Chain A
Amino acid sequence: MAQETREKTSSRKSTESAGKIRTVVKRMYQQAQQAKEEKRKVAYCMVMCNYEEILEAMDIVQVYTENYAGLCAVKRQAEPYMDKARAEGYSDLLCGYTQVGIGFDALRHELGEMPPDAPDGGMPEPDVLLGCSMGCDPRWKWFQALGRYKDAPIYNIDVLMPPSDADMEAIKEHSVRYMAEELRGLIAFLEEQTGTEMDYDRLMAIVRQVEETRWWWREAYELRRAIPCPMSTQDHFVLFVPHHMMLTDSFTLDFYKGLYQELKERVDNGIGVIDDEKYRLLWGVGLPPWHTMSILDYFLNFGAVFAAETAYMIPEPFEIPPDASDPVQLIAERAFERNSALQWRGQKAGGVPPLAQAHLERIEDFSIDGVVMHITRSCRASTMGQILVRNVIREHYPKMPVMFMESDIVDLGTYSEAETKNRIDTFMEMVGAYKGSAG
């Protein structure tokens, strides 16, 4: 039926690439479980910690716990784990991902085996826990809390986010040196755990492959500037999966090349997400409501397409210097360049806070008519600062409508579909008026 609709209208709501992801995710957990059975080392990880290439070079299987929590939410199987975490004494206001993850491992600890009906067979028991400070506090505190249930060793590293007004030239040297030392400390820890030495040539090759992967994803993403927009935000929130969770896999490189080809073909043929694209929206900061992603489709009824996001952003471009020989130093320099890029541009723009700068760039580059941000009850890092972002947007685009949707990344308890739809109705009226007044 869906296929018929596509043929009749020439629009295609979803990409074929996005349609592959569910299978990819299932396979990923199967492979991780199999690897565990084969006695390969398994690490609990956090995305965007800059250690993905290091783990791959040491043949360590990466399992991303936050994303598993997201999967539980998508499948609406998060509640038993959250209940368990709360029974263990954790606050119901704690990060939703963390509640799910702690509940999952507390339950496994209590049962002495994988919790029954764990989505996609569950996360295999980790041999090491590797957190980092990039993004938010629970991303390293969580694994510390798991010490109640596991004896697996923990190694957390700092990944710096320079302040918005820092003199980047002044802090670069010691910031990069610290990042490199953190990574070297991690490598020494992993060498001790695995009994094998790091192969730095292999590491360098993996870094190069990863940057090529990112180049293709970025190129594909940039195609969404086209009108009509060839890809929806609904797709974006599944298409990030290979990058975030299978970054070093050669499959991922091929996957984003394929995505580029698919979107290019759409753009060349004027194929958009919907037939009559009236409005282009930005999904601003705030992780999506994994429990009810279908609400995003409601915007389509108004002819509105999310053409860009500032959540699950593609890392900033980074060119590997031709004379680069030390992959650890390279990763450290890359981390600094990427994590300070918005600050740099915000400073050049007259002191725009980096979070707001990301939004202003997207609004300009993707011809945005309105912004939706998601206030998530349990995710402070992605929620704090949203009002500031709105205020800065208003300075630059005084009449641009900005909507705050309210629920959570995981917990359904605070979500009201009727209220959300009411807000969307009002918001879309404002977007219509804004677009109309803008001519």
Chain B
Amino acid sequence: MTNVAEGALDRARGLYENRGLRAKELAAQGKQVVGYLCCYTPAEFMTALDLVPYRIQGGVGKPLKQADQHLETIMCPYVRSCFDLAMGGEYDFLSGVVIPHTCDAMHRIYDIWKYHMKPPYSHCITVPHMTHRASFEYFQKELEDFQHSLERFVGRSASEEDLVRAIGLHNRCRALLRELYELRKQEPPLISGTEITWVLVAGMTIPVQEFNDLLEDIIAEVRGRKPSSDGRHRLLVVGSEVDDVAMIRLVEDCGASVVMDDLCTGSRSFWEDVDHAKGAVSGLAARYLGGITCPCTYREGKVPERFSYLGDYVRDWRIQGALLYTIRYCDTYQLDAPEIKGYLESLGLRVLYLEDDYVMPPLGQWKTRVEAFLETIESTKEE
């Protein structure tokens, strides 16, 4: 078993560094790969129809080449980066694109993507912003519409059994990721934040069954580690898209450990399972609308209630400080940011608020801020 598991993290890192490699292989073999944006897209429908879901990512460190000709500079920099890569041919292997209307940028990019990229298949899922009873009923209908749209594209239907099977595969994936996150609770964590990012990004680029196999190997490999305590500060990172290691590696190079996250590319995308007991599509609607804690979905209640799950993370992962990361021009996150910061501070945590344009993080400037931040945690501990 040990031999089988050996090198699993290296494989994840390889997939991280050569994104799209496996998907391109599959496309060359005749598989249809469908790209999607945002963790609100239920990939289960694609899996059920033997399509390969591929989460479209941006390119941190890759200056935009063509996006400025087509997208306004005040648009979400992450979306601009994804689009720029697509315009540059990075996603030519995709047979289609699915974009949920979850925020203003996602809403607008759908028409623009279609107009310029002319994908063979495209679909926009309207995701309610509210979570009233009627919102779930509506979303279920929207997901049925999405299913029919995919079925027309592939020319065959997905049965309830197909969907349940796909849900089973994706739930297994979620369970494995949660198991891996459990290993971050240890002191010191058995896997670093940088390594976790490799794993998460790798998983966005390969079929779910392959990712599950990889995760099992990674867990076995990581469990075999026996690190000694190094006294590093344990940090939580809160924000939206982080599909590059730059920021997290910087923090870890400064002497801290990122041990937990609330990111749409991280825990937010897999924390809740799909319960299909009342029907597959009904379960998917409940999970994707009710189980993702993105600021783009309105949830009633005041601050402690809305962010109590962060309090659970802080307690269970023994968090000592938090990084709050927002991407410029993200209205929904920037409207929540002061309250998230206040909530985390109310738990006794120091919070470092970082904002950038996604593409070119100011790592030099951040290094100074992170070092100072870690010193403040240290001084708080000494007090």
Contact = CB atoms under 8 A, between A and B. Distances in A.
Nearest to B79: A384
A140 B341 contact: no
A383 B72 contact: yes
A140 B124 contact: no
A182 B329 contact: no
A156 interface: yes
A93 B73 CA distance: 12
Contacts of A148: 303, 338-339
A133 B132 CA distance: 13
Contacts of B137: 174, 177-178, 181
Interface in A124-169: 133, 136-138, 140-142, 144-145, 147-148, 154, 156-158, 160-167
A347 to B, nearest CB: 12
A175 B138 contact: yes
Contacts of B128: 133, 158, 178
B226 interface: no
Contact of A147 (B72, B103, B302, B337): B302
A36 interface: no
Contact of A91 (B71, B132, B138, B337): B337
Given A98-B335, A142-B335, A156-B130, 5 more contacts: A91-B355, A93-B334, A144-B298, A144-B335, A391-B70
A137 B115 contact: no
A138 B335 contact: yes
Interface string A373-409: 0011110110111111001100000000000000000
Interface in B81-136: 101, 103-105, 107-112, 114-115, 122, 124, 126, 128-130, 132-135
B159 to A, nearest CB: 21
A163 B298 contact: no
A122 B108 CA distance: 34
B122 A165 contact: yes
B331 A138 contact: yes
B179 interface: no
Nearest to A162: B126
A90 B338 contact: yes
Interface string A345-361: 00000000111000000
A17 B142 CA distance: 45
Contact of B334 (A91, A154, A381): A91
A115 B366 CA distance: 38
B64 to A, nearest CB: 14
Contacts of B129: 133, 137, 140, 156, 158
Given A89-B341, A141-B335, A165-B122, A380 B75 contact: yes
A140 B132 CA distance: 14
For chain B, the bracket of interface size reads 35 or more
A136 B129 CA distance: 11
B300 interface: yes
Contact of A89 (B103, B295, B337): B337
A156 B300 CA distance: 9
B74 A383 contact: yes
Given A93-B329, A185-B132, A384-B108, A177 B72 contact: no
* Main secondary structure on B side of the interface with A: helix
A219 B207 CA distance: 57
B256 to A, nearest CB: 23
Contacts of B72: 375, 383-387
Contacts of B107: 161
Nearest to B140: A174
Contacts of B114: 164-165, 353
Given A158-B130, A388-B115, A164 B110 contact: yes
A430 interface: no
Interface string B305-346: 000000000000000000000101101101111110110000
Contacts of B74: 93, 375-378, 380, 383-384
Max chain B CB contacts within 10 Å: which of A144, A147, A148?
Answer: A144
B296 interface: yes
Contacts of B70: 387-388, 391
A95 interface: yes
A171 interface: yes
Interface in A82-117: 88-91, 93-95, 98
A387 B70 CA distance: 6
B104 A137 contact: yes
A285 to B, nearest CB: 11
B341 A136 contact: no
A418 interface: no
Nearest to A170: B145
Contacts of A170: 145
B22 interface: no
B253 to A, nearest CB: 27
A90 B300 contact: no
B141 interface: yes
Given A137-B331, A377-B74, A380-B74, A157 B130 contact: yes
B229 interface: no
A384 B104 contact: yes
Contacts of A90: 334-335, 337-338
A354 B114 CA distance: 13
B29 interface: no
Contacts of B337: 89-91
Contact of B115 (A144, A158, A178, A391): A391
Contacts of B130: 133, 156-158, 182
B332 A380 contact: no
Nearest to B341: A89
Nearest to A167: B145
Contact of B126 (A163, A165, A385, A388): A163
Contact of A95 (B103, B145, B331): B331
Nearest to B299: A144
A182 B132 contact: yes
Interface string A41-70: 000000000000000000000000000000
B2 interface: no
Interface in A292-327: none
Interface string B191-226: 000000000000000000000000000000000000
Contacts of A93: 74, 328-329, 334
Given A144-B298, A385-B108, A163 B338 contact: no
B339 A166 contact: no
B379 interface: no
Contacts of B122: 165
A209 B326 CA distance: 46
Given A163-B124, A174-B141, A388 B111 contact: yes
B69 interface: yes
A136 B138 CA distance: 20
B225 to A, nearest CB: 40
The 10 tightest CB contacts between A and B, nearest first, are: A89-B338, A181-B134, A163-B124, A178-B138, A174-B141, A384-B108, A353-B111, A141-B335, A133-B129, A91-B334
